[in-house]
């Protein structure tokens, strides 16, 4: 598969639990993004990794949210002590970065439900 | 910071043309994009335009860019029910981080 994959596709958790969401970008893509999309809403930017540069974390809504990108490939978004307002679809995207046109390739998303 | 705005809803009849409009604030934008999101799926790039162009046509899609007014539009000719989706306008500077609009929900009525 050549596309961006995300796992799990659905996650139901209880308020207060921690969750980890995974993103496998397209091989060779240097840029990786995380977004959040609530029902009927637009995209909310969370974090942006570009190569070896320090990530742009300006969109993370609170210190309960963090993300890592290991070895320039797979990324994990962690939400600690989940709250009901964290319920949303979390989308990951990758792109070839500054060498290309900036086109982002999106994964199918992880639907997170916090009870 | 950069901002991208678009109207939230558009409804058209099958066979009519659809025009979705977008405005942006970053005068240094170099790429402008239109993405389509179908229900339950991620976004997919429909087309993009480089900032030194004022028009791009691709089959039923026509993109117009007015750089002076920072206005971008997407025209879909002969709109079909399969075109019903959310359309996102986005911009980037030098293919870096993109800023997205909130999306326009296009409903095509038979």
- Compute the average pLDDT of residues B74-103: 92
CB contact under 8 A, A42 and B100: yes
CA of B79 to nearest chain A CA: how many angstroms apart? 23
A residues 46-105 near B, CB within 8 Å?
Answer: 48, 50, 56, 91, 93, 95, 97-105
A-chain CB neighbours of B100 within 8 Å are: 35, 42-43, 45
Residue-wise pLDDT for A1-52, tens only, equals 579 999 999 999 999 999 999 999 999 899 999 999 987 678 899 999 998 8
Q: Which of B7, B5, B21, B18 is nearest to B73 (CA)?
A: B21
> Residue B62: exposed, middle, or buried by beta-carbon count in 10 A (0-12, 13-18, 19+)?
middle
Nearest by CB: A102 against B31, B40, B101: B31
d(C-alpha B107, C-alpha B110), whole Å = 10
A25 touches B at CB < 8 Å? no
pLDDT band at A98 (very low <50, low <70, confident <90, very high): confident
- Predicted confidence (pLDDT) at residue B17 exceeds the cutoff of 80: yes
CB contact under 8 A, A50 and B96: yes
- Compute the average pLDDT of residues B100-106: 94
DSSP H helical ranges for A54-98: none
Predicted pLDDT at B1 = 62
Residue-wise pLDDT for A42-96, tens only, equals 889 999 999 888 999 999 999 999 999 988 799 999 999 999 999 999 999 999 8
Predicted pLDDT at A1 = 54
Predicted pLDDT at A86 = 97
Structure token pair of residue A9: 């596709």
- Give the bridge partners for B88, in sequence order: B35
> Residue A95: exposed, middle, or buried by beta-carbon count in 10 A (0-12, 13-18, 19+)?
buried
CB contact under 8 A, A106 and B44: yes
CB contact under 8 A, A45 and B102: no
CB contact under 8 A, A103 and B99: no
d(C-alpha B80, C-alpha A37), whole Å = 26
Residue-wise pLDDT for B55-81, tens only, equals 999 999 999 999 999 999 999 999 999
Reported for B49-56, long-range contacts at CB under 8 A and 24+ positions apart, including other chains, are none
- Compute the average pLDDT of residues B20-25: 95
d(C-alpha A67, C-alpha A13), whole Å = 19
CA of B11 to nearest chain A CA: how many angstroms apart? 16
Q: Where are the beta strands (DSSP E) in A8-87?
A: 10-13, 19-24, 31-37, 43-50, 65-69, 75-79
- Could you tell me how many CB contacts below 8 A there are between chain A and chain B? 63
């Amino acid at each position: 598969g050549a596309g961006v994959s995300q796992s799990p596709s659905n996650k139901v958790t209880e308020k207060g639990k921690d969750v980890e969401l995974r993103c496998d970008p397209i091989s060779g893509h240097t840029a990786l993004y995380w977004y959040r999309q609530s029902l009927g809403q637009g995209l909310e930017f969370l974090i942006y990794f570009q190569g070896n540069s320090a990530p742009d974390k300006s969109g993370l809504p609170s210190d309960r949210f963090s993300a890592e990108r290991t070895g320039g490939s797979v990324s994990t978004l962690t939400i600690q002590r989940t709250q009901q307002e964290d319920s949303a679809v979390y989308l990951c995207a990758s792109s070839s970065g500054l060498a290309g046109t900036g086109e982002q390739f999106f994964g199918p998303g992880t639907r997170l439900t916090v009870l | 910071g950069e901002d991208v705005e678009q109207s939230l809803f558009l409804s058209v009849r099958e066979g009519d043309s659809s025009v979705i409009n977008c405005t942006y604030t970053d005068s240094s934008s170099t790429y402008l994009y239109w993405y389509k999101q179908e229900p339950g799926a991620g976004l997919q790039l429909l087309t993009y335009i480089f900032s030194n162009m004022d028009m791009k046509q691709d089959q039923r899609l026509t993109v117009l860019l007015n750089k002076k007014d920072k206005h971008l539009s997407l025209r879909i000719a002969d709109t079909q029910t399969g075109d019903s989706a959310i359309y996102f306008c986005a911009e980037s500077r030098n293919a870096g981080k993109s800023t997205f609009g909130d999306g326009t929900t296009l409903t095509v009525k038979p």
